[in-house]
């Protein structure tokens, strides 16, 4: 099915590895699911219920974030299409760049999906009352925490790439850098 998000979700979680060993980074799973779970439980325990205005504001924010993350995927798609028309020279540097771009696309796509899911719960929170309002508000806020963590992940990975590339250019190291020396940008955290 073309509309199935499972391939994208699996691709996102495949980025939770340590390079070059390929070991799963359990702390990433714990952070990306543990902190939102704590937020969900805390919101439910304390009976957090968003106001209609608060829900509408968070709906707008998650909608904008979804569009931002989708835009990141479109930019990476443009780069992939450029590479298809004008292939870069084969080598470890090109392989590393391709892998990095695929991982950023997976992270951004997953974050866009998470933003859409949060938006759905914020819409439900604007319509709900009583216990349903608390449940929808809590789930939406927990997804919001998850999205903030995803945003931080994408931002730090892109910054690591920029930083590494600027170091490469300023030192003249350039294309001779091996993927292992660049592992900070591509380690899934």
The structure's pTM equals: 0.80
pLDDT for position 184: 43
Quick one: which of 114, 7, 36, 16 has its CA closest to 69? 114
Mean pLDDT for 51-63 is 94
The first and second tokens of residue 110, run together, are 């997953």
87 vs 48: which has the higher pLDDT: 48
pLDDT for position 183: 42
| List of E strands, the chain | 17-18, 23-24
Asked if residue 181 has pLDDT above 80, the reply is no
Tell me what percent of the chain is helix, strand and coil, each rounded to the nearest 5: 80, 0, 20
Asked if residue 86 has pLDDT above 80, the reply is yes
Q: How distant, in Å, are the alpha carbons of 6, 17, 99, 174 from that of 11?
A: 8, 12, 11, 28
Q: Assign 116 a pLDDT band (cuts: 50, 70, 90).
A: very high
Asked if residue 153 has pLDDT above 90, the reply is no
């Amino acid at each position: 099915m073309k509309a199935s998000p499972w391939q994208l979700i699996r691709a996102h979680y495949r980025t939770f590895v340590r390079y070059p060993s390929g070991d799963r980074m359990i702390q990433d799973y714990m952070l990306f699911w543990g902190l939102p779970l704590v937020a969900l439980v805390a919101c439910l325990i304390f009976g957090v219920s968003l106001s209609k205005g608060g829900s509408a504001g968070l709906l707008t924010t998650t909608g904008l974030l979804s569009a931002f993350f989708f835009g990141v995927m479109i930019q990476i798609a443009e780069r992939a299409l450029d590479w298809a028309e004008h292939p870069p020279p084969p080598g470890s540097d090109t392989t590393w760049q391709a892998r990095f771009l695929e991982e950023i696309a997976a992270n951004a796509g997953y974050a866009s999906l998470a933003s859409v899911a949060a938006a759905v719960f914020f819409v439900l929170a604007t319509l709900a009352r009583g216990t349903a309002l608390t449940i929808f508000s809590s789930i939406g806020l927990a997804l919001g925490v998850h999205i903030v963590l995803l945003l931080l992940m994408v931002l730090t990975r892109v910054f690591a790439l920029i930083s590494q590339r600027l170091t490469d250019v300023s030192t003249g190291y350039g294309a001779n850098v091996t993927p292992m020396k660049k592992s900070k940008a591509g380690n899934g955290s």
